[in-house]
Amino acid sequence: MSSATLDSPAVPLAKSVFPDAPAWDHAAVPAWFGASQRAAWDAFARLPLPSRRDEAWRFADLKHLALEGYVVDASAAAAPRASLALLDHAAARFVFVNGHFQESASHLPGGVQVLRLAEALAIHGDRLQAVLQPPETGLGSAKFAALHHAQLADAVVIAIAAGQELEHPIEIVHLLEGPRAASFPRTIVLAEAKAKVAVLEHHLSQGPGGLSIGAAQLVAAEGSTIHYALLNRLGAGSKAMHFSTVAAGRDAQVRHSLFNLGSGWARTECRSLLEGPGSRSEMYSVSLAADGQEVDQRTLQDHLSPHSYSDLLYKNVLFDTSRTIFAGLIKVDEGAHGTDAYQKCRNLLLSDDCEANSMPGLEINADQVKCSHGSTTGRIAEDELFYFESRGIPRLEATRLIAVGFAQEVVAKIGHPAMEALIGQAVEERFAQQGA
Amino acid sequence: MKLEIKDLHVSIGDREILKGLTLDLPKGQVHAIMGPNGSGKSTLSKVLAGHEDYTVTSGTVLMDGVDLLALPIDQRSRAGFFLAFQYPMEIPGVSNANFLRAALQARLPKGQPIDAVAFYKQLYAKMDLLKMDRSFTARSVNEGFSGGEKKRNEILQMAMLEPKYAVLDETDSGLDIDALKIVSDGVNAMRSPERGILLITHYQRLLDYIKPDVVHVMADGQIIKSGGAELALELEERGYDWLTKAA
């Protein structure tokens, strides 16, 4: 099979590419799924590119949206070359290269319902229809969510039965191989009542470039717990977009953490829906931006039920001429009384030429609500550096320790020791690489 | 062997704060500086540590013959100078153990790793002495510590870094009597013929627990009187007025 090219979205991608893109036989899947992909493809072609006037793209450099020349590699890609830093113990492990499943590197024990898309469709069929739709977050990237869905050839579907608790996390690895490779990772987590699961997803490169447009959907039924972390260590020349939707039912708890340590450009959108009374959502992020990198993050904490709780902490560390953008909204709907919602973005500037943009927001339509939002941007205080230096620690090392500490404070919130250790190590390595 | 401060003049902006301060702290001795608010006590401690807000306009400070003022802040520490801060900084995200490790690592030749087993053994021994719970190793430096815990942590750092000369800036302020006793025991344990200690304090109370060899009275940027431990008692009784007026 030949490789297919993704044309510039400015000139809508040639529709002829589509039948080649999904690597499976549509005849074997439910009709609604094939229809959803075709509709997504139409939507991608139809929807306009974001413009400067678009509030959801304020401060963003739209040149990053030029997606010419990326390739959907329909042939089986090479096995992972890099020695991967993975968890010692994973309940299950999926490894994909350019979207192709790597059986030899994966580990899929029985007893846990972790499935690839075709199996999931075969077993769950129409029950997946509600989630297997374009992963639109309403935060600006409908066009690219449509592209993701249209190109979807595989996915990881994690269905945890009622009351089941997994001791170890489920680990998903997506590797990009080749400078023009495109990958469309999709993770769906369905936790039934009182189930408990942790998921660690890695996005890595075996080369400098590539494009990743991914999505995660975390659906937590009554009293269940989902901890999800995405570690982006893609190559500096790559582009990454990721769309997450969290839906928390009654008394459910979902923690969604993003660690942007790679990719030249990253756009993340995360929408948390507090659907059930007493539900909890925590959204955390650490981004380390250097050189001319841009990290653009948009969030929504949507309180739809009474007595729900949400907390958001996004931290950015900026080197060189890097840029970050944070736009977040807490929305408390009518009837969502007794909501507790917090949102904080903190930017640490480590150069004179970097730029951090923060747009925190609140929209409250209910009573008896406790909400706060805010953003801080600053350099390391001289008095902090003085304290370190007065103990004999050189200024450069002091800066590194303080910046790493700033980031590790968020790592410590992941709430799963093995994941904290692995991600903490990745953060250390990224700082060491920066020479700061 | 001594810390030798000679005719030190220091300004912050246009304002002169130290106006020709002279003081010798020989190794093996404990000195105390007492004095009213605004006499320049804290300025002295910060200048010795190298704080950039202060400008030395004239005078010298020699540490065992080495020009202390010519050294960058971190080198002063590695050369054997230590300041226990009046208001220790809180450093979120950096554990106490990592902070001390970095400070000790900076004292080793480049590329030589620290002996982690020996480090923790020493750290725990010093913490026991200061009655600090082991959980303090993993906690962020001073973050959420009580006033007394912060001061104990300063003495812990001093005990780990084993300086030749240490200045303790109002280490007794904010301590209740139990904490004061623990901190004083920690300082007394560090008294040695190889070390000079300078206590800066408002109150005679500290000197009940740490007996100084010499007490200096500071006013308006100078040492105006020096004497034995009994001078502190006299100050407690009579205040500073009789001295500042005489000067």
What CATH number did the domain enclosing B82 receive? 3.40.50.300
Q: Which of A65-79, A141-155, A227-241, B179-193 has the lowest mean pLDDT?
A: A65-79
> Can you give the C-alpha Rg of chain B in angstroms?
18
Q: Is pLDDT of A285 > 60?
A: yes
Let me know the angle formed at the C-alpha of A339 by A337 and A343, rounded to the nearest 5 degrees: 150
Q: How many domains does chain A divide into?
A: 1
Residue A27: predicted pLDDT: 63
- Looking at the complex, report in whole angstroms how far the Cα of residue A383 sits from the nearest Cα belonging to chain B: 8
Q: What is the pLDDT along chain B (247 residues), one digit of tens a residue?
A: 999 999 999 999 999 999 999 999 999 999 999 998 889 999 999 999 999 999 999 999 999 999 999 999 999 999 999 999 999 999 998 999 999 999 999 999 999 999 999 999 999 999 999 999 999 999 999 999 999 999 999 999 999 999 999 999 999 988 999 999 999 999 999 999 999 999 999 888 899 999 999 999 999 999 999 999 999 888 888 888 888 776 5
What pLDDT was estimated at residue A17?
36
Residue A9 lies in a domain: yes
Please check whether residue B197 lies inside any domain of the structure: yes
Mean pLDDT of A348-377: 96
Any domain includes A96: yes
Q: Could you tell me which chain B residue has the CA closest to the CA of A393?
A: B103
Q: Note whether residue B67 is domain-resident.
A: yes
Q: What is the mean pLDDT of residues A26-51?
A: 86
Confidence of residue A127 (pLDDT cuts 50, 70, 90): confident
A392, A402, A406 member nearest B103 (Cβ): A392
Any A CB within 8 A of B103 CB: yes
DSSP per-residue letters across B120-153: HHHHHHHHHHTT--GGGGTSEETTT--HHHHHHH
Domain tally for chain B? 1
Q: What is the pLDDT of residue A430?
A: 94
Q: Cα A262 to chain center, whole Å? A: 12
pLDDT of residue A404: 95
pLDDT at A378 over 60: yes
Has residue B116 been placed in a domain? no
Q: Which pLDDT score, from 0 to 100, does residue B4 have?
A: 98
Closest CB to A405 among B49, B50, B94: B94
In a domain, A54, yes or no: yes
Residue A13 pLDDT class (50, 70, 90 cuts)? very low
Residue A288: its chain B contacts at CB < 8 A? none
Q: Quickly count: other Cβ atoms within 10 Å of residue A422's Cβ.
A: 23
Q: B14 to each of B43, B54, B57, B81, how far by Cα in Å?
A: 15, 10, 11, 28
A77 closest CA partner among A59, A62, A96? A96
At CB < 8 Å, which residues of chain A contact B? Answer: 382-384, 386-395, 397, 401-402, 404-409
C-alpha A356: how far from chain center:
20
The verdict on residue A64 lying in a domain is yes
The answer to whether position A110 is within a domain reads yes
pLDDT level of residue A198 (50, 70, 90 thresholds)? very high
Classify A420 as helix, strand or coil.
Answer: helix
Which residue did the predictor score with more confidence, A68 or A198? A198
Range with lowest mean pLDDT among A104-118, A122-136, A219-233: A104-118
Residue A112 has pLDDT above 60, yes or no: yes
Q: Is residue B149 part of a domain?
A: no
Given a cut of 80, is residue A207 above it in pLDDT?
A: no
In chain B, residues with a C-beta closer than 8 Å to the C-beta of A390 are: 49-50, 73-74, 76-77, 83, 85
Instruction: Give the burial class of A85: count Cβ atoms within 10 A of its Cβ; 0-12 exposed, 13-18 middle, 19 or more buried.
Output: middle
Residue A51: how many other CB atoms lie within 10 Å: 8
| Phi, psi torsion values for B232, nearest 5 degrees | -60, -40
Per the model's pLDDT, the better-predicted residue between B82 and A12 turns out to be B82
**Mean pLDDT computed over every residue of chain A:** 89
C-alpha B69: how far from its chain's center? 17
pTM: 0.89
Q: Domain span at residue A121?
A: 2-21+30-381
State the Cα–Cα distance between residues A149 and A34, nearest whole angstrom.
Answer: 10
Label residue A110 by pLDDT band (50, 70, 90): low
User: To 5 degrees, how large is the angle CA A318–CA A264–CA A41?
Assistant: 130
Residue A124 has pLDDT above 80, yes or no: yes
Its domain, for residue B173, covers 2-89+163-246
- Sheet of strand A100-101, all strands in order from the earlier edge strand to the far edge: A100-101, A92-97, A170-176, A196-205, A225-233, A253-260, A280-289, A309-318, A340-349, A370-378
Contact predicate A328/A361, CB 8 Å: yes
**Position B44 in a domain:** yes
